């Protein structure tokens, strides 16, 4: 009952309790919260105490920016629960190997990131933070009120007490393990008949294909994409199949960072996090987010640089939200392609969106694709088509990429065409990927 009341408090606070007259008022409110928060964290976390030195709270924007590797290196003194990295990893790996995700460590929920960037991270969440996360998620993502009956199906590689906490009152929740065979997942979904489906877009795509083949007949009330970049090709296919908008939840180890409004526009959750923008390209509005979460105390996230590429919307969202509108989560900085310039040999930047647009422009018959840069002069294009001649498609792809390379004055890489193959499960789908390091 105590946990339910906590969740309800945060649900009400998120849905009706926080209102600001304009953007300036929101930013002033954030500033007050952040200054109070860093004062507390300085006392509780030896790592941050040493990192910030004598800088006062009002100068928090001068605090050094940290990244994942530094957080993992100093995990023992960064977290405020007295839990070591070895203890946390042992608990998390035991849960993953046994597929039993209920235990806690010193009352803390422990989880692992997926390791998309090459190394796995660990996260700790207290009961209070879990209640705050649950109430916030339900307030932002639940299509009806908290008091309406709803069944939720949650597809992920690993479950967590955090996700299980969504099961509240009249809400039912079932976890669907992506490591199970797809036909088994489809059969379970058919039997459960949930209202809300939360899954990576690669899984939603496979469910759409099961629907088209007649193997899946249930119809969701809301589709929510998580964990992977929602590619335009997948979005269009899923929305056409189910006849509804695919919503997004921008959730990662570092917190619940964004959600889509009723118009399908992604907004940053600036009522719980502050986002600084490190621009990669101001003209195209692409930036890397630097996150300060002013509510998490167990594993503080303060001036933490993510590896994601976000594109800010060029115009306000019709929903009227004060929160920053995001046109697209494009991918990871690790997946920016670099090709040598044809004249000076310097590396030219090609954002993942450029590659996606070239593929989609080549042919409407392309059903699936992956583009992997193996080296500065080697590009692998895996694809699958609905119908048509493969050689014709490859000729069209070659033409589109040739125009792209000419536009950016790049030395054209060698193109290798292969058959597309991917099954949702242990790894995330990355439509555009760079496999070599700078």
pLDDT of residue 106: 78
Do 204 and 137 sit in the same domain of this protein? yes
Q: Quick check: 51 and 268 in contact, CB under 8 A?
A: no
CATH number of 379's domain: 3.30.300
**pLDDT tens-digit profile of 219-248?**
999 999 998 999 999 999 999 999 999 999
Among 283, 312, 331, identify where a domain stops: 331
Do 277 and 411 sit in the same domain of this protein? no
- Continuous segment of H or E residues that includes residue 73: helix 68-73
Token pair of 139, please? 């307030």
Q: Measured between alpha carbons, how far is 80 from 37 in angstroms, rounded to an integer?
A: 13
Token pair of 270, please? 């600036």
Q: Measured between alpha carbons, how far is 7 from 404 in angstroms, rounded to an integer?
A: 50
What is the gyration radius of the CA atoms in the chain, in angstroms? 22
Among 331, 362, 393, identify where a domain stops: 331
**pLDDT tens-digit profile of 43-60?**
999 999 999 999 999 999
Do 399 and 250 sit in the same domain of this protein? no
Q: Of 271-275, 341-345, 382-386, where does mean pLDDT reach its minimum?
A: 341-345
pLDDT of 120 above 90: no
Q: How many domains does the chain have?
A: 2
Nearest one of 209, 239, 202 to 422, comparing CA atoms: 202
Q: Measured between alpha carbons, how far is 4 from 229 in angstroms, rounded to an integer?
A: 32
Do 344 and 321 sit in the same domain of this protein? no
**pLDDT tens-digit profile of 183-212?**
999 999 999 999 999 999 999 999 999 999
Q: Measured between alpha carbons, how far is 350 from 188 in angstroms, rounded to an integer?
A: 42
DSSP 120-144: --EEEE-HHHHHHHHHHHHHHH-SS
- Averaged over 264-286, what is the pLDDT? 95
pLDDT category at 92 given cuts 50, 70, 90 is confident
Do 285 and 430 sit in the same domain of this protein? no
pLDDT of residue 129: 87
Q: Quick check: 266 and 250 in contact, CB under 8 A?
A: yes
Do 304 and 340 sit in the same domain of this protein? no
pLDDT category at 1 given cuts 50, 70, 90 is low
- Averaged over 310-336, what is the pLDDT? 94
Do 170 and 48 sit in the same domain of this protein? yes
Among 301, 331, 361, identify where a domain stops: 331
pLDDT of residue 393: 95
3-state secondary structure of 280: strand
Residue count (the chain): 438
Do 141 and 14 sit in the same domain of this protein? yes
pLDDT of 161 above 60: no
- Averaged over 29-33, what is the pLDDT? 97
Q: Measured between alpha carbons, how far is 74 from 97 in angstroms, rounded to an integer?
A: 26
Using the 8-state DSSP alphabet, how is residue 425 labeled? S
Q: Measured between alpha carbons, how far is 338 from 167 in angstroms, rounded to an integer?
A: 45
CATH number of 31's domain: 3.40.50.12780
Do 178 and 103 sit in the same domain of this protein? yes
Distances (CA, A) of 220 to 9, 32, 181, 227, 239: 28, 41, 21, 19, 11
Identify the residue with better confidence: 337 or 180.
337
Q: Percent of the chain having pLDDT more than 70?
A: 92
Identify the residue with better confidence: 162 or 397.
397
pLDDT of residue 218: 95
Residues spanned by the domain of 402:
336-434
Q: Which residues does 353 contact at the CB level (< 8 Å), separation at least 6?
A: 311, 328, 330, 331
Q: Measured between alpha carbons, how far is 112 from 129 in angstroms, rounded to an integer?
A: 17
Using the 8-state DSSP alphabet, how is residue 207 labeled? H
């Amino acid at each position: 009952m105590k946990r339910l009341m906590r969740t309800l408090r945060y649900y009400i606070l998120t849905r009706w309790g926080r209102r600001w007259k304009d953007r300036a008022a929101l930013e002033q409110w954030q500033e007050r919260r952040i200054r109070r928060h860093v004062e507390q964290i300085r006392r509780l976390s030896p790592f941050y105490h040493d990192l910030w030195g004598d800088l006062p709270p009002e100068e928090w924007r001068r605090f050094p920016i940290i990244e994942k590797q530094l957080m993992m290196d100093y995990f023992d003194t960064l977290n405020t629960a007295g839990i070591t990295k070895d203890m946390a990893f042992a608990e998390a790996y035991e849960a993953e190997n046994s597929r039993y995700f209920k235990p806690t460590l010193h009352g803390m929920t422990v989880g692992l990131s997926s390791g998309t960037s090459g190394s796995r991270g660990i996260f700790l969440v207290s009961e209070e933070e879990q209640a705050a996360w649950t109430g916030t998620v339900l307030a932002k993502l639940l299509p009806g009120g908290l008091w309406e009956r709803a069944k939720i199906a949650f597809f992920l590689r690993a479950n967590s007490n955090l996700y299980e906490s969504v099961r509240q009152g009249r809400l039912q929740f079932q976890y669907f393990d992506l490591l199970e065979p797809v036909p088994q997942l489809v059969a379970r979904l058919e039997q459960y008949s949930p209202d809300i489906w939360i899954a990576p877009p690669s899984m939603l795509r496979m469910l759409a294909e099961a629907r088209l083949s007649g193997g899946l007949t249930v119809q969701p009330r809301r589709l929510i994409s998580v964990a992977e970049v929602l590619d335009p090709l997948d979005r269009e296919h899923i929305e056409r199949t189910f006849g509804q908008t695919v919503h997004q939840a921008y959730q990662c180890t570092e917190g619940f960072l964004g959600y889509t409004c009723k118009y399908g526009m992604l907004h940053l959750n600036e009522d719980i996090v502050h986002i600084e923008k490190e621009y990669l390209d101001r003209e195209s509005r692409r930036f890397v987010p630097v996150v300060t979460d002013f509510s998490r105390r167990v594993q503080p996230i303060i001036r933490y640089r993510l590896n994601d590429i976000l594109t800010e919307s060029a115009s306000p969202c019709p929903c009227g939200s004060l929160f920053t509108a995001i046109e697209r989560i494009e991918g990871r900085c690790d997946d920016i392609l670099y090709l040598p310039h044809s004249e000076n040999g310097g590396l030219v930047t090609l954002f993942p969106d450029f590659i996606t647009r070239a593929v989609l422009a080549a042919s409407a018959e392309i059903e699936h694709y992956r583009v992997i840069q193996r080296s500065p002069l080697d590009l692998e294009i895996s694809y699958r088509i609905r119908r048509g001649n493969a050689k014709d498609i490859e000729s069209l792809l070659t033409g589109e990429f040739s125009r792209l390379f000419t536009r950016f004055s790049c030395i054209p890489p060698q193109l290798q065409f292969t058959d597309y193959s991917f099954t949702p499960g242990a790894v995330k789908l990355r439509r555009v990927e760079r496999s070599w390091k700078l």
